[in-house]
Structure 1
Amino acid sequence: MEFSQLLIRKHTRWQRSIVFLTITLLLISSVYLMVGEIFINPFSELTQLQQQLVAQLRLPRLLAAIAIGASLALSGAVLQVLLGNVLAEPGVLGISGGASVMMVLVMFFFPLLATPFGFMLAAIAGALLFTLILVSMAKAMRLTTTRLLLVGVALGILAGAVVTWAFYFSDDLSLRVLMYWLMGSIGGASWYHHVVTLAVLPVMLWLCFKGPVLDKLMMGELHAKQLGLDVEGLRWKLILAVSILVGGSVALGGIIGFVGLVVPHLLRMALGSENRFLLPISALAGASLLVFADIIARTALDSAELPLGVVTTTIGAPIFIWMLVKNHDSR
C-alpha cells in the first residue's frame, strides 16, 4: 500500500510539473511578444506597425526558439540514455558541429541547394554522421564518460577547423552567414524558415511517446532484449531521430550549446528518470529556457543584440563544470 501511494505521489508530481511548465512557457511567450525596442501593450488596440512587428518578426522568432529549445532538450535526454552517459549533449559531443560542417560544404560547393530545406537536409546528414561515429565508438570501445567527452570535443574541434577554413576563403556575405550560425542566433527567423519546424515536429512527438521503451533500454541491453525489445532497431531509430532534431535546430538557429545537457540532467535530479514523463517535460523546459534566453539576447543591450548561443553558453557552462566535478567525485 505504501509503495502504491508513493507511486501515485510521484506521478502527481510529474503531472504538476507538466502543468507548471506549460503555464510558464505560455507566460514567457506572452512576455516575449510584448518586449523589445517597441513595447507592445496587449490590452490596447495595436497599430498596423505593431501588428506587422508581431506577425512578421516576433512570432516566427518565438516559434523558432520554442522548436529549437524543445529539440535540443529532447536530443540531450535521448542521447543520455542511448550512450548511458549523463553528460551527453549534442553541442558538447560535436554533433551540432557536424551539422554546421555539412551546411558550410553546401554553401560553398552546392549553392543551388542553399535553401532552408537544403540546409536542413545537409545539417541532418552531418549530425547523423557524427552521431554514428560517437555511438559506434562508445559501443565498440566501451568508452568511459571522460573518453567519450574527449572524443566529442575532438570532433567539435575538427568541425571548428573546417568552419575556420570556410571563414578564410569566404566573401563578406558568406562570412556574415557563417558568423550567424557559429554564434547561434534566431534573429533572421521568418515564416519561410519554418519548413524546418514542420519537419522536426513529428519527430519530437514520436520521441515523447517512446518514454516507456527508453525506460527498458536504461535497464541494460540484456534486460531490454529479455523484455522483447528490438534493441538494434530502436538504436538506429533513435540515432536518426536525434540527427533530425539536431540538424533541424542547427539549420534554424545555428550552434546553440548546453540546452540538451542542462535541462534533462537537472530535471532528472529534481524529479527522477521516468522517461515517459521526462521527455515531454524536457521539451517544455528546453523551449521555456530558450525563449527566456532569447529575451535576454534581444533586450540586454540598447544598441545591439547578443548572440543567443552566447547567452545559453553563459548559463550552461558553469553548470557543466559543476556536473563534471560532481561526476568525478562520485567515481
Structure 2
Amino acid sequence: MEFSQLIYRKQRRWNLFAIAAIVSLLLFSSLYLMVGEVFISPFSEVTPLMEQLVLQLRLPRLLTAIAIGASLAVSGAVLQVLLGNVLAEPGVLGISGGASVMMVLVLFFIPVFATPVGFMLAAVVGALLFTLLLVSFAQVARLTTTRLLLVGVALGILSGAVVTWAFYFSDDLSLRQLMYWLMGSVGGASWYHHILTLMLLPVLIWLCFKGQVLDKLMMGETHAKQLGIDVEAVRWKLILAVSVLVGGAVALGGVIGFVGLVVPHLLRLSLGSENRYLLPMSALSGAALLVFADIIARTSLDSAELPLGVVTTSIGAPIFIWMLVKNHDSR
C-alpha cells in the first residue's frame, strides 16, 4: 500500500510539474511576442507594422528558440544516460563545437551546400563524429567522470580554435557576422529555416518515447540485456538521434551551451530519474528556458542584443561549477 502511494505521489509531482512547465512556456511565449524595440500590447489595435513584426520576425524566432531548447535539453538527458555521467551535455563535451566546425568547413570549401539543409547535414555529421569519439573513450578507456569531462572540454577548445582561425583569415563580412551567430543567436531565424525544425520534430518525439528503454539502460548493460534490450542497436540509434538534434540545434542557432546540462540535472534532483517522465519534461523546460533567455538577450541592451549563448552560459556556468563541487564532495 505504501509503495503504491509512493508511486502515486511521484506521478502527481510529475503531472503538476508538467502543468507548470506548459503554463510557463505559454506565458514566456506570449511575453516574447510582445516585447522588443516596439512593444505590442495584446489589447491594442492591430496595424500592418505589428502584424509584420509578429508574423515575420518574432514568431519564427520564438519557434526556433523552442525547437533548440527542447532539442538540447533532451539531448543532454540522453547523453547523461549513454555516458553514465550526470555532467554530460552537448556544449560542455564539445559535441556542439564539432557540429559548428563541420558547418564552417562546408561554408569555406563547399559553398554550394551552404543552405539550411546543407548546414544541418554538415552539423549532424560533426556532432556524430564527436559523439562517437566520446562514447568510444568512455567505453574503451573507461574514463572517470573528470577525465571524460576534460576530453570533452579539450575537443570543444579544439573546435573553437578551428572556427576562430577560419574566421580570422576571412575578409567576407557575412562570415564575420556568422561568427557572431556561432556564439549563439536566433536573430536570423525565418520561416525558411523551419525546414530544419520539421526534421527535428520526429526525432524529438521518438526520443521522448524512449524513456523506459533508458530506464533499463541505467541499470547497466547486463541487466538491460536480461530485460530484452539489444544494447548495441539501441545505443547506435540513440547516438544518431542525439547527433541529429544537436546538429539541427547548432544549424538553427549556433553553439548554445548548458541547456542540456542544467535542465535534466535539476529535474532529476527535484523530481526523480524516471526517464519516461524526464525526457518530455526536459523538452518543455528546455524550451521555456531558452525562450526566457532570448527575451533577456533581446531586451537587455537598447541599441543591440546579446548573443543568446552568452545568456545561457551566464545562467548555466555557476550551476555547472556547483555540480562539479557537489560531485567531488560526494566521492
- TM-score, length-scaled by structure 2: 0.99
Q: State the partner residue of 1:15.
A: 15
Equivalent residue runs for 1:210-225 within 5 Å: 210-225=210-225
Rounded to whole Å, the distance in 2 between the matches of 1:160 and 1:211 is: 33
Q: State the partner residue of 1:167.
A: 167
Rounded to whole Å, the distance in 2 between the matches of 1:13 and 1:84 is: 25
Equivalent residue runs for 1:76-155 within 5 Å: 76-155=76-155
Shift of 1:71: 0.3
Q: State the partner residue of 1:48.
A: 48
Q: State the partner residue of 2:68.
A: 68
SS at match of 2:173: helix
Rounded to whole Å, the distance in 2 between the matches of 1:213 and 1:196 is: 27
Q: State the partner residue of 2:270.
A: 270
Runs of 4+ in structure 1 deviating by more than 6 angstroms, as ranges, are none
Number of residue pairs matched? 331
Q: Show CA shifts across 1:175-201 (max 9, x none).
A: 324313331000000001111101100
Q: Percent of pairs identical after alignment? A: 81
Does residue 288 in structure 1 map to residue 288 in structure 2? yes
Q: State the partner residue of 1:200.
A: 200
SS at match of 2:45: coil
Whether the 8 Å contact between 1:100 and 1:181 is mirrored in structure 2 is no
Equivalent residue runs for 1:320-331 within 5 Å: 320-331=320-331
Shift of 1:158: 1.1
With 43-52 and 89-98 compared, the bigger mean Cα shift is at 43-52
Rounded to whole Å, the distance in 1 between the matches of 2:302 and 2:154 is: 37
Which residue identity is paired with 2:261? L
Q: State the partner residue of 2:30.
A: 30
With 273-282 and 160-169 compared, the bigger mean Cα shift is at 160-169
Rounded to whole Å, the distance in 1 between the matches of 2:208 and 2:321 is: 29
Rounded to whole Å, the distance in 1 between the matches of 2:187 and 2:210 is: 33
Shift of 1:61: 0.2
Which residue identity is paired with 1:291? V
Whether the 8 Å contact between 2:297 and 2:308 is mirrored in structure 1 is yes
Whether the 8 Å contact between 1:181 and 1:250 is mirrored in structure 2 is no
Shift of 1:257: 0.3
Q: Show CA shifts across 1:60-79 (max 9, x none).
A: 00000000000000000000
Rounded to whole Å, the distance in 2 between the matches of 1:182 and 1:325 is: 29
Rounded to whole Å, the distance in 1 between the matches of 2:266 and 2:94 is: 21
Whether the 8 Å contact between 2:182 and 2:253 is mirrored in structure 1 is no
Rounded to whole Å, the distance in 2 between the matches of 1:168 and 1:23 is: 44
- TM-score, length-scaled by structure 1: 0.99
Rounded to whole Å, the distance in 1 between the matches of 2:164 and 2:277 is: 41
Shift of 1:43: 1.8
Shift of 1:235: 0.2
Rounded to whole Å, the distance in 2 between the matches of 1:236 and 1:171 is: 41
Q: State the partner residue of 2:303.
A: 303
Which residue identity is paired with 2:24? T
SS at match of 2:228: coil
Rounded to whole Å, the distance in 2 between the matches of 1:212 and 1:218 is: 10
Where in structure 2 are there 5+ consecutive unaligned residues?
Answer: none
Rounded to whole Å, the distance in 1 between the matches of 2:304 and 2:159 is: 28
Whether the 8 Å contact between 2:181 and 2:307 is mirrored in structure 1 is no
SS at match of 2:134: helix
Rounded to whole Å, the distance in 2 between the matches of 1:158 and 1:38 is: 41
Whether the 8 Å contact between 1:186 and 1:253 is mirrored in structure 2 is yes
Shift of 1:266: 0.4
Q: Show CA shifts across 1:225-257 (max 9, x none).
A: 000000000000000000000000000000000
Q: Show CA shifts across 1:33-85 (max 9, x none).
A: 00111111112221000000000000000000000000000000000000000
Whether the 8 Å contact between 1:208 and 1:279 is mirrored in structure 2 is yes
Which residue identity is paired with 1:18? A
Where in structure 1 are there 5+ consecutive unaligned residues?
Answer: none
User: Over aligned residue pairs, what C-alpha RMSD do you find?
Assistant: 0.8
With 69-78 and 171-180 compared, the bigger mean Cα shift is at 171-180
